[in-house]
Amino acid sequence: MEEGAGAAPRTLIADLPSNDRPRERLAAAGASALSNSELLAILLRTGVEGKSAIHLAEELLSKHGGIAGLLRSSYDDLCTVKGIGEAKAAQLKAAVELGRRLVAASPEDRPTINSPADAANMLMLDMGHLDQEHLRVMLLDTRNRVLKIVEVYKGSLDTSLVRVGELFREAIRINAAGIIVAHNHPSGDPSPSPEDLVLTRMVVEAGKLLSISVVDHLIIGQQRFVSLKERGLGFNV
């Protein structure tokens, strides 16, 4: 197929110098040296007619609003993209799931939470761009290592409808020592509302009764977060 008049020709990965190809660059410099589009190109392996895997990866990232948007895309959504199809969509979703399961890896490999920022950084990539409110609970062991992250509520977070026991259900089941509660503000502004403070007090009181430490309540915005524990909001009960 010929390029349209004035259109820049698409460069295929095979036409690139070997030291510019994603797989060769990964082998030589490590995965951290690659851009998001290069990493995606390795997963995609091939492009479509007139479009390399790198160009396809760049279009995916642009269409979905970057890597965070791509992570939220469903399998069915990915299948509708020209050049992706069922096989590539499955590869992308499998890679995302492997990343999520890393949190539940062997104890020595689990992330340790030493500060509110540690927890927020684990959650912000996904939760900072959600268009609905989500409430998640991070479960910790006695050394503040992450055991699991569970989603408890999705949609309008009406404090009067939140059953505090649900926030502790999984913590009790796996004998977690502590929890961090986190929810997002779809507006992008993480400023606490009066309802957020009410919820925090309810959770902290319940934690004391259950002998499960409530380490923090984080509100996630876009590239920002608020730690209610750091601000002393709702924890003085």
> How do residues 175-187 score in pLDDT, each as one tens digit?
999 999 999 999 9
Contact 124, 136 (CB under 8 A): no
pLDDT in tens, 188-219: 999 999 999 999 999 999 999 999 999 999 99
* Residue intervals in the chain for CATH 3.40.140.10: 108-231
Query: What pLDDT was estimated at residue 105?
Result: 57
Taking the CA of residue 25 as centre, how many other CA atoms within 13 Å lie in the half-sphere pointing to its CB? 17
pLDDT mean over 29-52:
82
* Residue intervals in the chain for CATH 1.10.150: 13-102
| Tokens of residue 57, six digits | 């990866």
pLDDT mean over 124-132:
83
d(CA 77, CA 229): 38
Residue 108: pLDDT band by 50, 70, 90 thresholds? low
Query: What pLDDT was estimated at residue 160?
Result: 64
Average pLDDT across the chain, whole number: 83
Query: What pLDDT was estimated at residue 14?
Result: 52
pLDDT in tens, 22-35: 888 888 888 778 88
Q: In this structure, which topology does domain 13-102 adopt according to CATH?
A: DNA polymerase; domain 1 (1.10.150)
Q: In this structure, which topology does domain 108-231 adopt according to CATH?
A: Cytidine Deaminase; domain 2 (3.40.140)
Query: What pLDDT was estimated at residue 74?
Result: 84
Taking the CA of residue 232 as centre, how many other CA atoms within 13 Å lie in the half-sphere pointing to its CB? 1
Residue 100: pLDDT band by 50, 70, 90 thresholds? low
∠ CA 85-88-94, nearest 5°, is: 130
